[in-house]
Amino acid sequence: MDWGSILNNTLAGFLTPTTIAFALAALGLAMHFGFAGLLNFGIAGFMAIGGYGYAISVLTFGLPWWAGMLVGVLGSVVFALILGIPTLRLRGDYLAIATIAAAEIARLLFLTTAFTDVTGSADGLFGFNSRPDGSGFQNSNPIPQGTYGFGPFTYNEQTLWVLVFGLIVLTVAVWFLWALMRSPWGRVIKGIREDEEAVRSLGKNVFAYKLQALVIGGVFGALGGIIYTAAQNISPGVYVTSLTFFIWTSLLLGGAATIFGPVIGAVIFWVIQAFLSNLLPALSTSGILPVSTTQASTLRFVLVGIGLMLLVIYRPQGIFGDKRELTFVK
């Protein structure tokens, strides 16, 4: 077994566009679930709308990349409003089912052959990051061509540009969430999570606060989808319900009601994923694990499931969470 390459690939999981995308989406879920207590199982839908909003605006409407990304964000705001206005009055588990259904509707609409001209249906879309007319995201890349970094953290100028951009967005998002949560607005939101009736009796418009939380978290989710899309093609097969569950796993790993928890959770999730996806097939080829390599790579998703169960049962507050600020109220 080549431990060197396994270690190398594992370390590379620390910083990839996917890790940043997961961190942003998990941050959105922290806003929804960790702070506001909203059970959103449709984060994949927000990501899909962000990513597709960006890709379609660039390809179909010829907008420059930054305007396309704005459209993606606006799309998620609209989605949050459409989803939230009717459903936020529902009890937690009803909201979970409504959001998961809404995310599936979004995915099926991107998948259907009825809108192939715009969405590319099952094939997805490509060629929106670099545009022949110079309006693409990679056309604005200020980094000269070349290879940067060292060891496992070696990137070409394109990936590096996505990483730099993604890290800036992530930093702003983390700062914004931190600032929000120490503001009076954040205290009301946490109050709603703890006892909705108590906050209502103080004269606060609980519904409006929840809707604002849904929109803000949804924007984070959309930004995650945009960063993910800025690094590669977009395809509807990514935005399945499993994606939502993996992001939930990242969130709960770090701690739902924390600022840095979701980010660290996403990093841990992807480092473990990178480790297992290199280790398990290697164990299988070297005959230590008596299964085929395909089976070996399936095993890591089994481990994700088991990990999620153990986490929720034994450490629901996550690694960095405070047990007193437990988000599983009822």
> For the chain, where are the E strands, in sequence order?
147-150, 153-156
Looking at 25, 252, 253, 263, which residue binds other proteins (CB under 8 A)? 252
CB closer to other proteins out of 96 and 143: 96
Residue 102, interface with other proteins (CB under 8 A)?
Answer: yes
Nearest-angstrom CA–CA distance, 283 and 296? 8
Stretch of residues binding other proteins (CB under 8 A), selected from 127-135, 160-168, 183-191, 246-254: 246-254
Residue 71, interface with other proteins (CB under 8 A)?
Answer: no
Looking at residue 3, the DSSP 8-state letter turns out to be H
C-alpha torsion sign, points 170, 259, 21, 25: negative
Residue 18, interface with other proteins (CB under 8 A)?
Answer: yes
For residue 60, the minimal CB distance to other proteins (Å) is 19
CB closer to other proteins out of 212 and 317: 317
Nearest-angstrom CA–CA distance, 161 and 75? 24
For residue 175, the minimal CB distance to other proteins (Å) is 27
Residue 111, interface with other proteins (CB under 8 A)?
Answer: yes
Residue 96, interface with other proteins (CB under 8 A)?
Answer: yes
Is residue 230 a contact partner of residue 159, using CB atoms and an 8 Å limit?
no
For residue 58, the minimal CB distance to other proteins (Å) is 20
Angle at 261 between CA 258 and CA 266, to 5 degrees: 145
For residue 201, the minimal CB distance to other proteins (Å) is 16
Angle at 39 between CA 34 and CA 44, to 5 degrees: 100
Residue 304, interface with other proteins (CB under 8 A)?
Answer: yes
Q: Is 315 exposed, middle or buried (0-12, 13-18, 19+ CB in 10 A)?
A: middle
- Sorted by sequence, the CB contacts under 8 Å of residue 205 that are 6+ apart come out as none
Helix (H, G, I), strand (E, B) or coil at 150: strand
Q: Which residues bind other proteins (CB under 8 A)?
A: 16-18, 39, 86-87, 89-94, 96-98, 100-102, 104-105, 108-109, 111-114, 116, 121-123, 231-232, 235-238, 240-243, 245-246, 248-249, 252, 273, 291, 294-295, 298-299, 301-302, 304-313, 316, 328-330
